[in-house]
């Protein structure tokens, strides 16, 4: 893809109200554009990242055995009358339709998924069932802030599982933790599983928290993996860790990127969703819900992986694998050669499934192109100039390294492909 063809370019200045690194860098680099507080458009580069994150989530949910569906975002008030949540979900956006009809915009989907699954599950033999969707959710958050971390419209993957027995539920719940950790590590996030409040439904839920300064949560944690949300913590800073006994409890600011909840029969009971068990008795169905915010994940990745020049994307979710730069030359013959090499690198890499963003702009200085490459943050920068041409090579610079080197033009495609396929070695900043 030629950068000249992307309509939304980088900006010199940050939005005046950017209150966190992700809000500032994603806007400046041309990934997102704020429409109003907590509501964003995804521009071409930003949409590529969001879609890559969603795809990782999708692969892990499919591997967990869940079916992807898509439920409506517009909900009838009747559904919430059934569960008595019309007035208790404080962030619910409520709308009035024609006549006296009332609706809500989906902030979560228990009210839709429970009667939906009920229609298809006729006997215990049809269980367990797990369905998920990836959709925008709407929440009238009292304080939308920190760019993609807390929006009023945001992307969520929500999964719901239905089980006949506690044992079957627990098995699935534990397996879902593994899937969640896979999602976050594939996205370049080091997530901690944290015990958190179960709300009105059950004693505990589990949150997946990423330690970052702009996070709104506080967790007490130990190096051994023990972690509790401050809201429910039974420990305090400097206590001996109750799990390993040797470590000391530390306090960390963090952001919740995922949350899994046992819902017991809270919703199935409200909708009268029961089946006849093997023993012939009517049994309440047990339910769990499991959320991940792909847009919040995107914001969190930027919080964790950036430096003073811009974003440092993990390979798996970078908008492009390679940022190719052609340096304009006044000599027509040299310029033609530079563009020719770039075109073939671009095409050959594309054929190997390596995405290339080619900064082919002719009226932009080399310095500006380098600054844009750092701001945008693709993992590998390749430069073709008169200088590299003279050496039959291209200049190679990894985004997270400060040194560049020359690689022969002949070997460039193979080396790039190998680099892109190799695992990341990014560390958090
Ligand atoms: P929080 O405590 O941060 O308000 P929550 O517990 O209300 O979040 P859940 O209902 O568990 O959130 O939603 C599942 C996931 O959706 C969260 O783990 C998070 O990744 C994402 N999410 C929730 N609210 C927002 C929001 N306002 N903006 C962006 N992502 C969000
Ligand atoms: Mg939560």
Residue 36 forms beta bridges with which residues? 39
CA contacts within 13 A on the Cβ side of 246: 4
Ligand 1 atom 14: the closest Cα is on which residue? 291
Using one digit for the tens of pLDDT, what is the confidence trace for 344-368? 999 999 999 999 999 999 999 999 9
Using one digit for the tens of pLDDT, what is the confidence trace for 142-156? 999 999 999 999 999
CA of 404 to the centre of ligand 1 (A): 40
Q: What is the pLDDT of residue 428?
A: 59
CA of 127 to the centre of ligand 1 (A): 28
Ligand 1 atom 11: the closest Cα is on which residue? 259
Residue 155 forms beta bridges with which residues? 136
Judge if 330 and 362 occupy the same domain.
yes
Judge if 43 and 158 occupy the same domain.
yes
Spatial CA neighbour of 299 closest among 44, 6, 9, 32: 32
Residue 400 CA to residue 402 CA, distance in Å, equals 7
Judge if 169 and 212 occupy the same domain.
yes
Query: What is the total count of domains within the chain?
Result: 2
- Domain hosting 101: range is 3-218+255-304
pLDDT value at 427 more than 80: no
Residues in the chain: 429
Residue 267 CA to residue 376 CA, distance in Å, equals 44
Ligand 1 atom 18: the closest Cα is on which residue? 258
Pair of tokens at residue 337: 């050669």
- Please indicate, yes or no, if residue 429 is contained in any of the structural domains: no
- Please indicate, yes or no, if residue 233 is contained in any of the structural domains: no
- Please indicate, yes or no, if residue 385 is contained in any of the structural domains: yes
**Ligand 1 closest atom vs CA 261:** 11
- Please indicate, yes or no, if residue 236 is contained in any of the structural domains: no
CA of 256 to the centre of ligand 1 (A): 7
- Please indicate, yes or no, if residue 74 is contained in any of the structural domains: yes
Residue 298 CA to residue 317 CA, distance in Å, equals 9
Ligand 1 atom 19: the closest Cα is on which residue? 293
Spatial CA neighbour of 151 closest among 52, 2, 38, 235: 38
Judge if 290 and 149 occupy the same domain.
yes
Using one digit for the tens of pLDDT, what is the confidence trace for 48-78? 999 999 999 999 999 999 999 999 999 999 9
Q: What is the pLDDT of residue 198?
A: 83
Q: What is the pLDDT of residue 203?
A: 79
Q: What is the CA radius of gyration of the chain?
A: 25
């Amino acid at each position: 893809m030629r950068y000249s063809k992307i309509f939304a370019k980088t900006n010199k200045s940050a939005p005046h109200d950017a209150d966190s690194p992700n809000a500032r860098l994603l806007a400046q680099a041309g990934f997102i554009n704020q429409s109003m507080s907590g509501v964003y458009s995804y521009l071409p580069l930003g949409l590529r990242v969001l879609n890559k994150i969603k795809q990782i989530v999708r692969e892990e949910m499919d591997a967990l055995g869940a079916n992807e569906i898509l439920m409506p975002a517009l909900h009838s008030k009747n559904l919430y009358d059934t569960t008595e949540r019309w007035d208790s979900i404080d962030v619910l956006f409520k709308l009035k339709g024609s006549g006296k009809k009332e609706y809500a915009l989906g902030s979560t989907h228990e009210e839709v998924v429970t009667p939906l699954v009920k229609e298809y599950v006729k006997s215990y033999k049809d269980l367990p069932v797990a369905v998920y969707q990836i959709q925008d959710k709407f929440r009238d958050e009292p304080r939308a802030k920190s760019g993609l971390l807390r929006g009023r419209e945001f992307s969520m993957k929500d999964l719901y599982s239905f089980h006949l027995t506690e044992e079957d539920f627990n098995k699935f719940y534990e397996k879902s933790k593994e899937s969640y950790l896979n999602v976050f590590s594939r996205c370049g996030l080091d997530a901690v599983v944290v015990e958190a409040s179960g709300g009105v439904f059950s004693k505990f839920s589990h949150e997946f928290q990423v330690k970052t300064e702009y996070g709104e949560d506080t967790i007490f944690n130990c190096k051994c993996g023990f972690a509790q949300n401050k809201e429910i913590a039974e420990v305090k800073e400097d206590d001996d860790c109750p799990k390993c006994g040797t470590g000391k409890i530390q306090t960390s600011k963090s952001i919740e990127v995922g949350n899994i909840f046992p819902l017991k029969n809270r919703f199935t009971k409200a909708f009268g969703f029961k089946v006849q068990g093997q023993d012939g008795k009517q049994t309440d169905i047990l339910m769990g819900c499991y959320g991940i915010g792909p847009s919040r994940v995107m914001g969190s990745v930027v919080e964790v992986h950036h430096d003073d020049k811009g974003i440092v994307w993990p390979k798996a979710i970078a908008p492009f694998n390679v940022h190719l730069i052609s340096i304009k030359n006044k000599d027509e013959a040299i310029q033609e050669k530079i563009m020719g090499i770039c075109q073939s690198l671009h095409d050959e890499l594309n054929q190997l499934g390596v995405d290339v963003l080619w900064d082919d702009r002719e009226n932009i200085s080399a310095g500006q192109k380098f600054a844009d490459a750092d701001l945008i943050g693709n993992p590998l920068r390749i430069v073709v100039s008169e200088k590299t041409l003279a050496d039959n090579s291209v200049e190679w610079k990894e985004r997270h390294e400060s040194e560049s080197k020359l690689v022969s033009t002949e070997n460039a495609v193979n080396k790039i492909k190998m680099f892109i396929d190799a695992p990341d070695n990014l560390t958090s900043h």
